[in-house]
Amino acid sequence: MSLWIDPSMAESLSPQYATHPNPMFDFLTGFIPRRLKDLFRWAEYLAYSSAHIYAVIKKFGEYPITRFIYETEADQEKERQRDLFERYLRVKGFLTKVSFDKFLYGNVFVSMYEPFKRFLKCPKCRTEHAAEQIEYTYESEKVLFKFKCPVAQCKAEVACKPNDRKLIDPKRISLIRWDPKAIDIEQNPVTGQAVYYYNIPEWLRAAVKRGSRNMINTMPYELLSAMKRDKVFKFAEGQLYHLRVPGPSGVEEQWGFPPITSAIKLFLFAATLRKANEAIALEHITPMRVLYPQSNGPLGDPSQSLNLSTWKDEVERNYRRFRRDPLHVMISPIPIGVEDIGGQGRALLTLGEVQEAEKNIVLSMGV
């Protein structure tokens, strides 16, 4: 059995000519990000622009971080561990930031910076000098340090590679949160093993190339080498910890799923309502007041018996006196009419709809 359709009706039955188009697509859908790292930028924007989203993420970030418990009976060891984690590393504050990133991006990349001191060794006299104590010129293309040896018996113009020595100093250890937008992940879907790459920002490359001593003296040699080749930096296995929020297995499984994704469209809807309220407030909240000589009928038209220009000047003069003295009374020989144009903004504002949209934003985040 077949259904015959009039050819003249075929066009009207196609999706693009349907009376009711796709219900899954609306105006705001066109603004939803299509790429994951664009979603990270949207997450940042929402955290800055929505007081509700920021408050929820901040509270979620702070809530699970409690005081530390040291399970040891040795007071000296307990004090040493407390100094390391609370005084030097400030782990509690760092974990709060990590938790904030988790609920914002759905991904956290963490590593530890091991302190070192950089030395430059003169190839001629074999004397080593601390990099921060001598003047040098850095060649980023070759990762070479050029300097004049300060030893009086040498004074040679030399070039050398840096010699970095690790420092056993807990005060100089740093915990690092890496920007998820600058991280690339290469993961084997069969084994789950992943390799992480860091796209070095242009501003950091530029700072090193222009010779920023602070950047050069403290930048690990591996990163300087990556900048030389204008390539990404590959993390060694086990040197980067990736904390992520589980997401659908079919959506870039190597990444976490930003929890605020479902709030984006709700935020855009609330922003549309706020924009409408702004336009209403600018145009309709403050009325324009118009004064006019009021007529008492066909025989009482003030324009026939008064000079309206003189009347206008007199009204303006009395109004200025009233602004200076609220007790001033104006005497008019004719009735004065008053007309307000605008001022109906309160009835037009969508305050209830905005509150409902913002409540839905909070609900979408699990509050």
- Judged by DSSP in three states, 83 sits in helix
Q: Compute how many other C-beta atoms are within 10 angstroms of the C-beta atom of residue 98.
A: 19
Task: Report which secondary-structure segment, H or E, holds 28.
Answer: none
Contacts of range 310-313, beta carbons closer than 8 Å, 24 or more positions apart = none
Choose the most confident range, by mean pLDDT, from 37-46, 52-61, 212-221, 307-316. Answer: 212-221
Name the CA dihedral angle for 200, 205, 211, 212, rounded to a multiple of 10 degrees: -50
Q: Residues with Cβ < 8 Å from 158, sequence gap 6 or more?
A: 122, 123, 124, 146, 147, 148, 149
Distance (Å, rounded) from C-alpha 156 to C-alpha 147?
8
H helices, E strands: number in the chain: 13, 14
Which of 4-8, 136-140, 185-189, 211-215 is least confident? 4-8
DSSP assigned state of 236: P
> pLDDT band for position 4 (50/70/90)?
very low
CA 320 to chain centre: 50
Q: What is the pLDDT of residues 169-218, one digit of tens each?
A: 888 889 999 999 999 999 998 888 999 999 999 999 999 999 899 999 99
Q: And the tokens for 74?
A: 């040795």
DSSP assigned state of 235: P
Distance (Å, rounded) from C-alpha 151 to C-alpha 144?
20
Distance (Å, rounded) from C-alpha 29 to C-alpha 43?
16
Name the CA dihedral angle for 96, 97, 102, 105, rounded to a multiple of 10 degrees: 160
CA-closest candidate to residue 123, choices 160, 173, 91: 160
pLDDT of residue 29: 67
- Judged by DSSP in three states, 171 sits in helix
Choose the most confident range, by mean pLDDT, from 197-206, 280-289, 300-309. Answer: 197-206
Query: In the predicted model, is pLDDT for residue 325 greater than 60?
Result: yes
The structure's pTM equals 0.74
pLDDT of residue 1: 40
pLDDT of residue 25: 67
